[in-house]
Structure 1
Amino acid sequence: MSDSPPRELISLADDEGNSVSVNVLGLDPSWAAGLRAEIVVTTPFVSGRIDLGLFVARLECWADALDRLHAGEDVAWMKMSRGPSISIQLTGEHDCPEVVVKDDSSSMVTVRVPIDPPNGWIADHRRRLRRVIDHWVPMLSA
């Protein structure tokens, strides 16, 4: 259904049951310039979620991270800000990409998830980002 707001900004999953996603939940009622979101980690061993605030600068940083991934670089998204961060290492310990979700400011938990994404996953995430920006950013106040 194309009328529904885009929900998945990030959706990295593989056939082994490992996934990391960032879901946009909607406008943040307590902050006119932000979106409510969540990071969700699911594996056969561990699962969890953490709240996340998104704003335009974070979306722009994700666009930059996708460009760097396309160029073959590892990235850390939201590492320098308060709250959780997501890093993507293109060659992790298991010879496939590894997503690292860290929550140093609250739970102090780090989760490493090896994920073998399908071909074209970076282009797919650029399309996801564009849909989120096109739908949600016009609703945010500066």
Structure 2
Amino acid sequence: MGDSPPRELISLADDEGNSVRVNVLRRAPSWSTGLDAEIVVRTPFVCGRIDLGLYLSRLESWADALDRLDAGEDIAWMEMSRGPSIFIQLAGERDCPEVVVEDEGGSMVTVRVPIVPPDDWVAHHRRRLHQVMSYWVPMLSG
């Protein structure tokens, strides 16, 4: 498993300085079946972060989202749930993929970040998800 726990569940970045990341911070001290995480958005124009709770069904829905992205479909991850949502549009408004982070229920802020990921980004994210689940999920189960 390595010396340190896997932290990056999502890491979408490009050469223009745009990035959207989901980082696992720790096991949530207030609920035994969850993880404290954060969404971090950085661009040359705006930077921000928001807290995020992760639990097994959210990790499983990210796996489903990766399958849909690999099939060429846009996705909405965590839509219609408490907290922020992440949307990935493969053909965004600027003729490149866009990641939209929306916090409609909290800050009421939406950030649209154009990102041109590498060709094999879905496979990389499947590996990230596998590493996160292999390390963290056994702790959440028991």
TM-score (norm 2): 0.98
Matched, 1:70 2:62: no
SS of the residue 1:101 aligns to:
strand
| CA positional deviation for 1:2 | 3.0
The 5-angstrom pairing of residues 88-127 of structure 1 reads 88-127=88-127
> Any idea what the Cα deviations from partners look like across 1:56-96, whole Å, max 9, x if unmatched?
00000000000000000000000010100000000001111
Aligned to 2:47: 47
Distance 1:38 1:30 in 2: 16
Distance 1:73 1:137 in 2: 27
SS of the residue 1:94 aligns to:
coil
Backbone CA RMSD of aligned residues = 1.1
Count of aligned pairs: 142
Distance 2:134 2:141 in 1: 14
In structure 1, runs of 5+ residues without a counterpart are: none
> Any idea what the Cα deviations from partners look like across 1:82-111, whole Å, max 9, x if unmatched?
100000000001111000000011100000
